[in-house]
Structure 1
């Protein structure tokens, strides 16, 4: 019994090997004497026997009784055995009918004509009883194999139907999971004090293990992050959902990156403190073996001061207003591997027109058409050649260009995510 998704399926019992497959036989011959001789031979084997004196009568019997075995004379007036065989093969049947032509013809070309017409075997007249039994036994073996194959095909077909139903149910669940994960990033873009933050999140499957986000406790302060959970699929997506709750933009009192002050407002915690707090949360989850890398930053939009922590994540790319670019950060241990990882806060000051890009390794580890990875130098060249588009358009252009360079543009093997800060303070 197969059970799943409210379906039950039982594999049919195969026919026993000693059960005869041929039960009904049809004799077609314009000679009544020949029909009597063959009937006597077949009756001794326990078959239900039908007789027809012509091909047309035989077709009528076949339409009603569906014989398992047909013994037909080749030479008959009107419709001969060859034409009857062709018509017999055109009939719709649930099971295969074994067809033996009775003939005195021994010429190879004539035998080939019979096989082309659909005959399975030949018997030479006069009919020998022992040879007839041997031919019928051979036909029975063939029909048994055909029937067993049909039964197995039926099992496969019904099993595929069950699997398809299960797949459809899983696919619906994953589609819903994708919508839920997309809701973790409620807005793709935010403008604060003239500067703009844009987000990109493209999972390689229905759901993924990357997460991007931003939040502000007010005034000109901003927190932004790019997270990559180890692995792919549902497990990683569940971890991202938990982490999204720890860095919620909707509920600041639940956001571990925010510290309440005087019961009036929230302040941004130091990025290293945020990473350590998140690490303790993940380490406290027993049975969870996944870890994550993270680039998290506090930004003062008024002064351009950026403090960030790089926990095993690729180094952020600073694209200066003068067209130059460089990677920044000293690395650090991922989150969720060690109880007390070595992490430190890096500080930089952005100038008006500068851009800061956080990105996941789904970008730099993308396999290109030449078989190599894009790597950091390739990313640096890529962004330099992109059109001078703002915010989300820039990230969309980046993703499109990456797909064009990839070995398989339709199947990127890793999630792709990025956060872009365009610093342009109000003057």
Structure 2
């Protein structure tokens, strides 16, 4: 039969509430349906009646009822069978299902719950108990409605966050491209020597910077820098440092000084580190710091002056295959005011190579967390001593990937490899 309703007024507000709940009453007894329907209409519910489970199921396929009161024992489809079929129907909201029964055995009640029923009422139905059960059902429906709204809000928020993430991801991809341009040359032949660069950020953008520049036709500067942290802030710092170590803009290069006849000279490596330290603490005043290995090589004599500021030890790969780690460690740059940085001196012979490398190489872990370490790097360099510099750096990346079990590197991997021909 069509849905019926009586107006329900809120005594506090003096007006009708929002659309009342729609209840489907299912019973093969017309008298029972009328009794229940009158109670429900008096309480302000919209009511639709059905005389069988089959009829009720057909109505549920067309209408989304909020609450269903169904007799258990009916000819044809029973209340439990109807409940199972009802639960299988596609619908947006939840339907609260109450079975009316004279059954009281626990096993039978369990069968009803397994069939999808939410509650039970024992016949003959008490009006007070029915109203209490309906209020309990309405609380469940209100909570379900609130959950749906909150889920919709969460989905909407996640959609907005995804848009922000996609935009940020695109920006970071472009930032990585720009950061790669900070290293303009990956390999240069100076005649008496070559310099080759390895730079693999662990994420979109990284905090490592490596490079080289000419001080004069006979002196080459090499540097390897690792800014603390990861992400955009570290990348911005590397961009600033790249400008201060640029061979293309010697007037802005913090390592260079004015020389005679318009030529440039350079500060000793320990002074370069000290100038950076003062700039970080007095001028920039940021929370970041960085480690650095900076070397100056005389390609006529093979003399090397270098400073190690908290960076991994520079490595010398001798032409005969021996490996030497040099340097004294030192303080990172930007942590201690007035920190002293000591110069280390060594010599390269024909065929020797100097490798300034980041901790992303020596601290690269395997799946069990065991780092490659200086010994692992030394073993690799010894085994790869006959390779050309660019091929050696590519082989190092493959070796690190194999050591890491094929997973992404947890830290930036970088280095500059200087091959002295003599």
**When the two structures are superposed, what TM-score results if normalisation uses the length of structure 2?**
0.86
Gaps of 5+ in 1: 1-18
Q: CA deviation at 1:296?
A: 1.3
Q: Distance in 2 between matches of 1:128 and 1:373?
A: 75
CA RMSD of aligned residues (A): 2.7
Instruction: Provide Cα deviations, 1:80-134, integer angstroms capped at 9, x if missing partner.
Output: 4333323322222221111122233444444344333322222233222222223
- Is the 8 Å Cα contact of residues 20 and 44 (structure 2) preserved in structure 1? no
Aligned equivalent of 1:164, options 156, 162, 165 = 162
Contact preservation (8 Å) 2:20, 2:46: no
What is the TM-score when the length of structure 1 is the normalising length? 0.85
Match of 1:351 in 2: 349
Alignment pair present for 1:332 and 2:330: yes
Contact 2:290–2:332 (Cα < 8 Å) also in 1: yes
Q: CA deviation at 1:151?
A: 2.7
Contact 1:193–1:301, Cα closer than 8 Å, also in 2: no
Q: Contact 2:270–2:341 at 8 Å: present in 1 too? A: yes
Could you say what secondary structure the match of 2:214 adopts? Answer: strand
Structure 1 counterpart of 2:9: none
Distance 1:99 1:22, change over 3 A: farther
Tell me the residue number matched to 1:246. 244
* 1:29 pairs with one of 27, 34, 55: 27
The alignment partner of 2:292 has SS state of strand
SS at match of 2:346: strand
* 3-state secondary structure, aligned to 1:225: strand
Query: Are residues 67 and 242 of structure 1, via their aligned partners in 2, closer, same or farther at CA, if it must alter by over 3 Å?
Result: same
Aligned with 1:285: secondary structure?
A: helix
Query: SS at 2:283's partner residue?
Result: coil
Residue 48 of structure 1 and its aligned partner are, at CA, apart by: 1.0
Range that drifts further, 317-326 or 199-208: 199-208
Rounded Cα–Cα distance in structure 1 between residues aligned with 2:237 and 2:387: 33
- Supply the distance in 1 between the matched residues of 2:61 and 2:369 (Cα, whole angstroms): 63
Q: Within 5 Å, which residues of 2 pair with 1:110-259?
A: 110-217=108-215, 219-259=217-257
The aligned residue for residue 424 of structure 1 is: 421
Q: Secondary structure at the match of 1:313?
A: coil
The CA deviation at 1:324 is 1.2
Q: 1:331 to 1:119 in 2, by over 3 A?
A: closer
For the 8 Å contact 1:22–1:69, the answer to whether it is kept is no
How far is the alpha carbon of 1:411 from its aligned partner? 4.7
Match of 1:405 among 397, 403, 406: 403
Give the deviation of 1:29 after TM superposition. 1.9
Q: 1:20 to 1:108 in 2, by over 3 A?
A: farther
Distance of aligned partners of 1:371 and 1:66 in 2 relative to their CA distance in 1, 3 Å threshold? closer
Instruction: Give the secondary structure class of the aligned counterpart of 1:274.
Output: helix
Report the secondary structure of 1:347's partner residue: strand
- Select which of 397, 410, 414 maps to 2:411: 414
Residue-by-residue CA offset, 1:37-65 (whole Å, 9 max, x unaligned): 11112122111111122334323433444
In structure 2, the residue matched to 1:4 is: none
CA deviation after TM superposition for structure 1 residue 195, in Å:
2.5
Cα deviation for residue 409 of structure 1 reads 5.3
C-alpha deviation, 1:421, in angstroms: 1.0
2-side partners of 1:20 and 1:108: how far apart? 39
Instruction: Judge conservation of contact 2:313–2:325 (CA < 8 Å) in 1.
Output: yes
Q: Name the stretch that deviates more: 67-76 or 365-374.
A: 365-374
Equivalent residue for 2:91, pick from 93, 99, 102? 93
Shift of residue 317, structure 1, vs aligned partner: 0.9
Q: Provide the rounded CA distance (Å) in 2 between the counterparts of 1:159 and 1:40.
A: 45
Q: 1:75 to 1:20 in 2, by over 3 A?
A: farther
Which of 289, 298, 303 is matched with 2:296 structurally? 298
Distance 2:19 2:380 in 1: 70
Tell me the residue number matched to 2:3: none
Is the Cα contact below 8 Å between 2:227 and 2:290 reproduced in 1? yes
Find the residue that maps to 1:296 and give its secondary structure: strand
Alpha-carbon contact 1:25-1:70 (below 8 Å) kept: yes
Secondary structure of the equivalent of 1:241?
A: helix
User: Which whole-Å CA distance do the structure 2 matches of 1:182 and 1:62 have between them?
Assistant: 63
| Distance in 2 of aligned mates of 1:293 and 1:150 | 52
Indicate conservation of the 8 Å contact 1:304/1:349, yes or no.
yes
Aligned length: 406
Contact 1:358 1:419 survives alignment (8 Å): yes
Distance change >3 Å, CA 134–CA 386, structure 1 → 2: farther
Secondary structure, counterpart of 1:171 in structure 2: helix
Q: 2:321 aligns to what?
A: 323
